[in-house]
Amino acid sequence: DGGITQSPKYLFRKEGQNVTLSCEQNLNHDAMYWYRQDPGQGLRLIYYSQIVNDFQKGDIAEGYSVSREKKESFPLTVTSAQKNPTAFYLCASSIVSNEQYFGPGTRLTVT
């Protein structure tokens, strides 16, 4: 089955620790995206990548980092510098225009 996988579904960390969220796609899509969703709110773009080995900051990149070493993978690291990291994180990918397909999301809780 083609699709986007995110793991794990739930993630718990202590404050001050970095944590990496996984996103993998087998759709052969060139572009990948990371969004953050807070309760009752829309999606905000963290980082995006249109091609391997290249990525750009979105609207709320501070405290996050990404890499794009392979077309299929776009991991997101939430660093200790992110002041309010508890949120629902969504990964997406696209091939043409803007039509994006989303993974199931990872809920990160930092205490």
Partner 1 sequence: GEDVEQSLFLSVREGDSSVINCTYTDSSSTYLYWYKQEPGAGLQLLTYIFSNMDMKQDQRLTVLLNKKDKHLSLRIADTQTGDSAIYFCALGAAGNKLTFGGGTRVLVKP
Q: In the complex, what is the shortest distance from the CB of residue 79 to partner 1, in angstroms, rounded to a whole number?
A: 23
* Residues paired with residue 70 on neighbouring β-strands, in sequence order: 73
Distances (CA, A) of 86 to 3, 12, 31, 102: 25, 9, 25, 20
CB contact at 8 A, 107 and 41: no
Contact window for partner 1 (CB under 8 A) among 14-22, 38-46, 62-70, 77-85: 38-46
How many residues in the shown chain lie near partner 1 by CB under 8 A?
25
Per-residue exposure over 25-37, b if at least 16 CB sit within 10 Å of its own CB, e if not = beeebebbbbbbe
Residue 61 in the binding site for partner 1 (CB under 8 A): no
**Element (H or E) spanning 88, and its range?**
strand 87-94
**Member of 11, 22, 27, 45 binding partner 1 (CB under 8 A):** 45
Considering only residues 72 through 91, tell me which ones interact with partner 1, judged by CB under 8 A. 90
Nearer to partner 1, 82 or 94 (CB): 94
Contacts to partner 1 by CB under 8 A: 4, 6, 31, 33, 41-43, 45, 48, 50, 56, 58, 90, 92, 94, 97-105, 107
